[in-house]
Amino acid sequence: MSAVEDPSSAAELFELLWESLADVLGTAAAATLLRRAIKRTAAHGSSAEPVVVTRKGPDYEYRLPDTWRQPGNEEAMSALRGVAVELRMLLIELTGPVVVRRLARLASFRKLGIDFSDEAPQ
């Protein structure tokens, strides 16, 4: 796994999220769930520049806004938190508590205010 040991930017956290999901569900399912979470976040009026997840041959890749690479960028972290909220609800609905519990164990998310607890979505 190439994710950064102690992420400080939204991009590093997204990389950790992508790799964690792909490890458990595979890249196709990770891409599908993240696309859906991003779309739901945008539907709530998020004006932030979107994350784009695309298929490239047999693989999937993502493109993040440049601002997400800036350590401590609160707007980027807020946008990532919005995606995480939607993703958490999708994961609980589709996979039960298994995947969110795995994500919740990652201290990097908790440290930066991203909640993947397996309690029922609000």
pLDDT for 7: 80
* Nearest of 85, 76, 69, 68 to residue 121 by alpha carbon: 85
**What's the pLDDT tens digit per position in 81-115?**
999 999 999 999 998 899 999 999 999 998 888 98
* Nearest CA among 66, 35, 41, 69 for reference residue 53: 35
- The CA–CA distances, whole Å, from 57 to 5, 15, 24, 52 equal 30, 20, 21, 16
Q: pLDDT digit string (tens) for 23-35?
A: 999 999 999 999 9
Q: Please give the model's pTM, rounded to 2 decimal places.
A: 0.87
